[in-house]
Structure formats: C-alpha cells, structure tokens
Amino acid sequence: MIILTLKACRVNSNYKRVEIGTMLGKTEKTIYNWEVGLQIPDRGNLAKLSEIYGVHSDQIFLGDKSALSEFYKRNKSSF
C-alpha cells in the first residue's frame, strides 16, 4: 500500500489549497493546518478528501513529512 500525505494527494490531483477549502467549506488556512499536521480533519472531511483525491482514506497519512518518514522506517517490512 502506498501512503501519501494530504499535500501529496492535493498536488498530485492538481488542486490548490483554496480550491479544496472551497469544496469542503473550509478556509485555505485549515487545509494548510491539515497538511502540516497542526490539525486533523474529522472523519467526514477525510472521506470527502479521499473522494476528491481518488484514494482510499487508509492511504492518507495525517501528519508531517518527518512522521511519515519515521512510519516508513518502522514499517518497511510491510511494504
């Protein structure tokens, strides 16, 4: 399974933060906070994000890049 950060999902889908915010009724700052791990989207918004980005919600990593790197290091035998 490939794990992606919220930012990677957005960039790969060619969206800007403001566009995602508009789709979800959230501010650009909220989307930024989700992407850098300062806040976490609730289950409903995570489901909407996974639909927008075309990925399963289990593939979206909710944290910053350093946490994702650590996740991969700890779970490298699973990939």
Residue for token pair 């403001």? 18
72 against 10, higher pLDDT: 10
Burial 4-21 (b: 16+ CB within 10 A, else e): bbbbbbbeeeebebeebb
The model's pTM is: 0.77
Domain locations in the chain as residue ranges: 4-78
The residue type at 46: L
Q: State the fold for domain 4-78.
A: 434 Repressor (Amino-terminal Domain) (1.10.260)
Residue 75's SS3 state is coil
Per-residue pLDDT at 14 = 97
Per-residue pLDDT at 45 = 96
Q: Mean of the pLDDT values across residues 23-34?
A: 96
